[in-house]
Structure 1
């Protein structure tokens, strides 16, 4: 016969322990991590934009210096070419160093102008 009070209940359900954080905690953590990442990207974009603006302004301020340097270089090259021409053509009678070799008065040195 059965014991007094009956038999114990049969345990048929799985008894799994809770492991790790819940889904809402994981979702909150991922959301916080993404928000922090977007914050850092925004700060990086602001800094990159400021560096780009600084580079543009530094180039703008360097233009007169670079133009002056180019002018000095062009003048130095022109004078050197004139001296070479004088040295090469010193034995040619009637040769004037630096004078245009074109007889057309419409020709202008350094310009690409077509006059009809």
Structure 2
């Protein structure tokens, strides 16, 4: 016989857990994240371009200084080489230190620099 008060009611309702945000919300989130990423990439590209421009102009402005430094270094090395040549060839009669080996008065920059 049934218990007093009757049987318990049958639970037929589905009890599914919450499965997360909907497709539209996910699409909106992905779109927002991508838009922010593209914004940051654009700002990074602008900054990189500005740094490249700054580097180029700094090199342009440094060229005269570096050329002058190279000229001073070449002159110092040339004078040291002449001094060494005078010291080495002092016993050779008729030797002129620093005289060009070419039969021309045209200036030629030294092709080889002895370090």
Structure 2 length as normaliser, TM-score? 0.77
Counterpart in the other structure of 2:108: 109
Q: Which residue of 2 aligns with 1:50?
A: 50
* Separation of aligned partners in 2, 1:86 and 1:75: 16
Q: Structure 1's 93 and 84: CA in aligned 2 closer, same or farther, altered over 3 A?
A: same
**Structure 2: 5+ residue runs without aligned partners?**
1-8
RMSD: 2.6
In the alignment of these two chains, the number of paired residues is 103
1:95-114: CA deviation from partner (whole Å, max 9, x where unpaired) = 11111234x348763489xx
Q: TM-score w.r.t. structure 1 length?
A: 0.76
The change in CA–CA distance for 1:49 and 1:24 in structure 2 (over 3 A counts) is same
1:65 aligns with 2:65: yes
Deviation digits for residues 40-67 of structure 1 (CA, Å, limit 9, x no counterpart): 0000000000001000000000000000
> Where in structure 1 are there 5+ consecutive unaligned residues?
1-7
Summarize the alignment of residues 1-116 of structure 1 with structure 2, pairs less than 5 Å apart: 11=12, 14=14, 16-102=16-102, 104-105=103-104, 109-110=108-109
Evaluate the alpha carbon distance shift between residue 74 and residue 91 of structure 1 in structure 2; reply closer, same or farther with a 3 A threshold.
same
